[in-house]
Amino acid sequence: MRKTVFDCSLIELPRIQNRSVSLTPINNYKDIPFEAKRIFYVYDIPGGVIRGTHAHKECHEFLIAGSGSFEVHLDDGKDKKIVMLNQPYKGLHIPPGIWASETNFSSGAMCLVFASHEYEEDDYIRDYNSYLDYIRTSKSDLP
């Protein structure tokens, strides 16, 4: 079944506070709804830069603002939604089939990404018109 922006969920992660520090553990299938096979982070992001601007065919992603803040723009070809990430103990689950981009990074922002698949270029849809064609042809998957 094709996903919509309403299937993207903000998840509050566990927070352990001890004296003057906080720690957030992240466990596969418990804290995030998939097994993370790749983890990476984006940092030193110049002002005005837009990151992402793609969709995945199979890969799930979970984004966290490890520091600072940024907006995630979500698009399913019909509806759009913007989610602000600005707390390191909250993350956004983006299932496959959703066009996503990250914008408005604060100074010193860091975007931490957990991915359900190892990097595979064929899983990416990087052109928006190709994305619209992809979801149009996958409408037969809808109930």
Distance from C-alpha of 65 to C-alpha of 12, rounded to nearest angstrom: 12
Distance from C-alpha of 54 to C-alpha of 127, rounded to nearest angstrom: 7
Distance from C-alpha of 108 to C-alpha of 66, rounded to nearest angstrom: 10
Can you give the residue ranges of every domain in the chain? Answer: 5-141
Catalytic residue among 54, 60, 93, 117: 54
pLDDT in tens, 64-118: 999 999 999 999 999 999 999 999 999 999 999 999 999 999 999 999 999 999 9
pTM for the full predicted model: 0.93
Which H helix or E strand runs over 66?
Answer: strand 61-67
To the query of whether residue 54 is one of the catalytic residues in this protein, the response is: yes
Q: How many H helices and E strands in the chain?
A: 1, 12
CATH 2.60.120.10 assigned to domain 5-141? The reply is: yes
**2 confidence band (pLDDT: 50, 70, 90):** confident
The predicted structure's pLDDT at residue 139: 62
pLDDT in tens, 26-77: 999 999 999 999 999 999 999 899 999 999 999 999 999 999 999 999 999 9
DSSP character at residue 44: S
